[in-house]
Amino acid sequence: MCSQVDDMIDTAGTLTAAANELRVMGAKRIFAFATHGLFSGPAHQRIANSVLEKVVVCNSIPLATAQPTTPAAGAKGAAAPADAVAEVDQHKIVQVSIAGLLADAIRRIHLKKSVSALFSHQEGQTVQIVKSKDSSSKDSGSNSSPSAPTTPQPTQTPGGSNQ
C-alpha cells in the first residue's frame, strides 16, 4: 500500500500522475490524503479514471456536485465547456469532518487554553471519519448521521482548579 500526502488537491494532475508512477513501480493499493480538496476543472474525472483507491480530504471546502451544462437558447448543437461534467462520481472521495477540531480550537482560545494540545497524539486516541452526505448514502443503508468527534474537557471546580 502506498499513500500520497499533500496540502491541497486542485486539478489532480500531479496527484494522478504520481499515483500512476507508483503503480508502475509496483504499488498494489494507492491512497491520497490532503487537507483541502479544491477539485477544480478536470479533477473529478482524473480521480475517477485514476488508479487511486480513495482520496481523503477534510471538509474545509464543500464537495460540489457539477450540474450538466445545457447549450444557450438558440445555440443548437453548441458544445458544453471542456470542464463541464454531467455527473460527478465521488465514490473515491471521502471527507473527514473538522467540525470538532474547529469547535475545540475556538473553545480553547476563548478559555485561554493551549490550542497546540489539540495536535499532540496520545496513545489510545482515535480519529472518527465522517463521510460526506453523498458518499455515506451510497456506502450504507443507514439514515443516521455520525456526530462530530469531541474531546473530553476538564471541569472547573469552584476553587478554580481543573479536574
> Could you read off the pLDDT of 101-149 as tens digits, one per residue?
999 999 999 999 999 988 886 666 655 555 545 444 443 333 333 344 4
Bridge partners (DSSP) of residue 8 are: 36
Q: How many angstroms separate the CA atoms of 14 and 17, rounded? A: 5
CATH of domain 1-66+89-117: 3.40.50.2020
Q: How many angstroms separate the CA atoms of 66 and 79, rounded? A: 16
* Angle at 22 (CA atoms; ends 21, 28), nearest 5 degrees: 135
Contact between residue 33 and residue 61 where contact means Cβ atoms under 8 Å apart: no
Q: How many angstroms separate the CA atoms of 138 and 61, rounded? A: 21
* pLDDT reading at 87 higher than 50: no
pTM attached to this predicted model: 0.61
